[in-house]
Amino acid sequence: MSALKRTPLYDAHRALGARLVPFAGWEMPVQYRSILEEHAAVRSAAGLFDVSHMGEIHVSGPGAVASVERLVTCPVASLRAGRVRYGLLCNEDGGVVDDVTVYRLADDHLFLCVNASNIEKDYRWIARHALPDARVEDRSDRTGLLALQGPASAAVLSRVCDVPLAGMKRFTFAEGAVAGAGALVSRTGYTGSDGFEIYLDAADAERVFAALLDAGKPHGLAPCGLGARDTLRLEAALPLYGHELDDTTSPLEAGLGRFVKRETGGFVGAEAIERRALAGHARALAGFVVEGRGIARAEHAIFCGGARVGVVTSGAPSPTLGKPIGLGYVPPALAAPGTEIEIHVSRPSGSRTGDRAIAARIVDTPFWKPTQPTGGTSTSARPHTA
């Protein structure tokens, strides 16, 4: 196994006493003090995440827009400079190569924020499908990314940032200075709460991270690890690549049809997605709440009426709801809210407590959303990348 990569904030995480774990080839903080406390900080105040492991792939030149247009499921030509859209890179079979956010920097310059685990795969895929008059460049290593999330995010960020945040709408961004460092400030996130993602030079990451922690102190800001990031995104029912999405999954099975330009098509995988939809999907992603005693986890089997009908893709206790929740694939006929299912909890190998069934019920997603829309026009919780 190759050595784990470290973000520019590795030393800062150590100094804060973070527990570092391997994630997608990176040594990342899973928690600083407590996942539950960090989760609560984001829902009630603010949390600061180092997500510098994520990738940034730039596409520029005269063919940039046409190249990205044929690579992602969301419309690109209509995306104005300063705006962000969520979309999927699909393969010729309609499976998901990655889920990404597309940033329009200028007429002839976009970048895609991609999952850490997929950077190399995505880069090769994009370079292979880009037009000759487009330049594809992986800037992941020199780009730092901080996510400041939670209702107090704007108050915290405005203390150290010269970008006017009050009128900034969700899924827009602006360039400016954060703690004196040049940054791209985007009103996006992966928690379901209001918040910002701050792209900057890797060399500035440590200083800006420290300045944000300092500015956030009076607001109850906590440094947060990937543990809280996962429970937060699950409450918002945002998909995680490798769990809800993979190379075989159609975006429509995952309930992401609203991010697919089905009328216009013209992107890699468009025909296969329609062909598969016409043939009828065998499965649909559904959210469930556990009603019995126990916690559903990824890969547990889902049963209904005594038969195995599907599999859990993500499962965890929901700190905000106070009960375990999960996402999983079931036949479309069983995906309706109210459907009673059973989760077959399998234990660590060798356990004599063995497998057992716990009752659960399909519910509408997201499991949680802010009561107060924030950040200008609040679109419903939109997926972002992990």
Partner 1 sequence: MADYEIPNDLRYTREDEWCRVEGSRVVVGVTDYAQQQLGDIVFVELPAVGSTVERGEPFGVIESVKAVSDLYAPISGEVVEVNGDLADHPEHVNEDCYTDGWMITIEPSDPDEVGTLLDAKTYRTHVEERSTE
Query: Is residue 298 near partner 1 by the rule CB under 8 A?
Result: no
Report the residue from 316, 341, 343, 381 that binds partner 1 according to the rule CB under 8 A: 316
Q: How far is the CB of 356 from partner 1 (least distance, A)?
A: 9
Give the residue with the Cβ less far from partner 1, 55 or 225.
225
Would you count residue 4 as binding partner 1 (CB under 8 A)? no
* Residues 189-228, mask of contacts with partner 1 (x by CB under 8 A): --------------------------------------x-
d(CA 1, CA 159): 43
Per the CB < 8 A criterion, the answer to whether 65 and 108 are in contact is yes
CB 193 within 8 A of CB 49: no
Q: Which is nearer to partner 1, 346 or 378 (CB)?
A: 346
CB of 305 to partner 1, least distance (A): 26
70 or 297: whose CB is closer to partner 1? Answer: 297
User: What span, in angstroms and rounded, lies between the C-alpha atoms of 242 and 11?
Assistant: 28
Spatial separation of the C-alpha atoms in residues 327 and 336, rounded to whole Å: 13
| Cα distance between residue 250 and residue 93, in whole Å | 8
Question: Which residues, numbered 275-294, are part of the site for partner 1 (CB under 8 A)?
Answer: 293-294
Find the binding residues for partner 1 in span 21-60 (CB under 8 A).
Answer: 30-31, 34-36
Residue type, 74: C
| Residue number, 139 or 347, with CB nearest to partner 1 | 347
What's the closest the beta carbon of residue 117 comes to partner 1, in angstroms?
17
Q: Minimum distance between the CB of residue 79 and partner 1, rounded to whole angstroms?
A: 36
Closest distance of CB 290 from partner 1, Å:
10
Beta bridge partners of 195: 149
Interface pick for partner 1 out of 295, 301, 311, 363 (rule CB under 8 A): 295
**Alpha-carbon distances, residue 152 vs 119, 171, 286, 384 (angstroms):** 31, 18, 31, 20
Shortest spacing between CB 244 and partner 1, in angstroms: 18
Angle, alpha carbons 288-151-372 (nearest 5°):
65
The CB-of-27 to partner 1 minimum distance in angstroms stands at 11
Q: In the range 336-355, which residues lie near partner 1 by CB under 8 A?
A: 347-348, 350-353
- The CB-of-141 to partner 1 minimum distance in angstroms stands at 25
Round to whole Å and give the CA distance between 311 and 373.
33
Is 138 a binding residue for partner 1 by CB under 8 A? The answer is: no
The minimum distance between CB 355 and partner 1, in angstroms, equals 12
CA–CA distances in Å: residue 313 to residues 3, 232, 330, 358: 28, 15, 11, 16
Residue 106 in tokens: 């200028």
Q: Which is nearer to partner 1, 338 or 354 (CB)?
A: 354
Size of the site for partner 1 (CB under 8 A): 23
Interface residues with partner 1 (CB under 8 A) are 17, 19, 30-31, 34-36, 227, 230-231, 293-295, 297, 316-317, 319, 347-348, 350-353
